[in-house]
Amino acid sequence: MIWEIEDGPRAIEGLDERGRPRPEYAAGLGLVPAPIGRRILAMVIEGLFIGLLQLPMLLVALPAIIGAVGTADPADAVFGRPDAVWIVVTFVVPYALTTVFLLVQLILFGRRGVTLGKAFTGLRAVNVKTLERPRFWRGAVVRYLVQVASLLVPVGPLLVIALSPLFDPDRRRRGWPDLAAQTYLVDIRKGLNPYDAKRMRIARKTLATDLRDEKASLPSLATPASGPATDVYIPVARNRGGVLGAPKERAGGGERPAAEEGPVAPIQESPFAVDSAPAAAPPTREPVVLARQAAEPPAPVASPAPAAAPAPGPASAPQPTPRPEPIEEPATPSSSVAPAETLLPGATSSTWSAPDLMPSPAAAPTASLLLDSGEQLEVPATGAVLGRAPSVAGADAGAAPLAVADSTKSVSKTHVALRWVDGALVAVDLGSTNGSGVIRDGAETELDAGVPATLRSGDTLRFGDRHASVRLT
């Protein structure tokens, strides 16, 4: 195992040349700016809760203190009352509870970016540069000091600070308190939760790493499932040369006369085609050339009758020799050789089989996965199951188990299944712990357990923290 030790400070991603945060980086991770309405609602909720804590003091202690102000001895007017203890309790306890509440608010905001109002409205705060927790002093204390300072002067500064998110040049709705504290409020209901460490790590890795293979794809040797059909040599008859093939016809119809007939031109050049050469040419022994049946004897030709001995008598003129006529061979099928086919030299009827003259059916589609480690996995026609130690059962009983190494154990033992459905490859999450997703055109779609999702060539399949690029042929 190789351990990497960082010598210098950790590099912060998403900053420009001047060290300023780039809004498009946060948007690429999936962070959504917090809407103005819910920001105001969060502040109202926190203000109402503080008012609820102060309610005993407002109802009991404050009227008594206001009534004692106009007397000669205000202290004696307050503590000399029979309910003086109750007045002190209703003043001290709400004040202490409010102080504790504000302190807890600051700690939660600095460490988790959340407060009471933000928890109810689905908002979180992060550091605008690191997109991590805002920190206590710079992120929480400075932000609340700016807000408290706006309350010292009524209406004017408070209204300006409340409307300042509308004038953010980066369009991220960051107000003056956010600019001072370097914070960024995001909406976790519509976007990514920055405090989900696993999802955040996957988003950063996906944005920083291009999983698409830039290599030029080689042409497939499989028979195309669709497209223009090619010409196929299909023997249909026997021509005069004794070779199986489709004889070429004349333009006016009918076959060419024997004098014009040459080598038969098949529709597509075939290794079984032979040239109709003169009969005196010796037969070739190459296995790709079909010869005529060796056992087939040449057609017998009638020999001329011998001239009779001249009878004694006067000499007569010699009689012309009659022209022999060919005897047509009867078409009687043989019991040992197929009548319409020819055999290779040395073949017998028991070992001979007709050549496959029909085109082969379209090959089934194939798929492969290119892992982020560079390893390539082939998906067979029976499907596959991915995981650290996958087991196949049920609907995936015939699938191939493909083990994927993962030292972080973000991949379950039996994580995701790849199945062929009507010629399409689909991915099905098998109830994994860290889930699966399909990344297409930069956007990830989470897979629900047991619900198939169709994969396309070029998609990226995420299972746990591992990624695999899908290739279909």
In this prediction, residues 383-410 reach a mean pLDDT of 89
Q: In the prediction, which pLDDT does 223 show?
A: 55
Which of the pair, 468 or 214, is modelled with greater confidence? 468
User: If pLDDT is split at 50, 70 and 90, which confidence band does 205 have?
Assistant: confident
Region at 294 (left for phi over 0; alpha for psi -120 to 50; beta for the rest): alpha
Taking 60 as the threshold, does the pLDDT of residue 463 lie above it?
yes
Taking 90 as the threshold, does the pLDDT of residue 98 lie above it?
yes
Instruction: Calculate the average pLDDT of the chain.
Output: 74
Strands 367-371 and 466-472: antiparallel
Report field, pTM of the whole predicted structure over 0.85: no
In this prediction, residues 136-162 reach a mean pLDDT of 74
User: If pLDDT is split at 50, 70 and 90, which confidence band does 351 have?
Assistant: low
Q: Is 124 exposed, middle or buried (0-12, 13-18, 19+ CB in 10 A)?
A: buried
Q: In the prediction, which pLDDT does 278 show?
A: 47
Taking 80 as the threshold, does the pLDDT of residue 306 lie above it?
no
Rounded CA-CA distance 360/341 in Å is 21
Which of the pair, 265 or 389, is modelled with greater confidence? 389
- For residue 387, what are the β-bridge partners? 403
Q: In the prediction, which pLDDT does 84 show?
A: 86
Q: Are 46 and 118 in contact (CB under 8 A)?
A: no
Q: Which of 299, 300, 296, 297 is nearest to 341 (CA)?
A: 296
In this prediction, residues 62-89 reach a mean pLDDT of 84
User: If pLDDT is split at 50, 70 and 90, which confidence band does 470 have?
Assistant: very high
Q: Which range is least confidently modeled, 144-148, 245-249, 289-293?
A: 289-293
Share of the chain above pLDDT 90, in %: 31
Q: Which of 226, 237, 472 is nearest to 362 (CA)?
A: 226
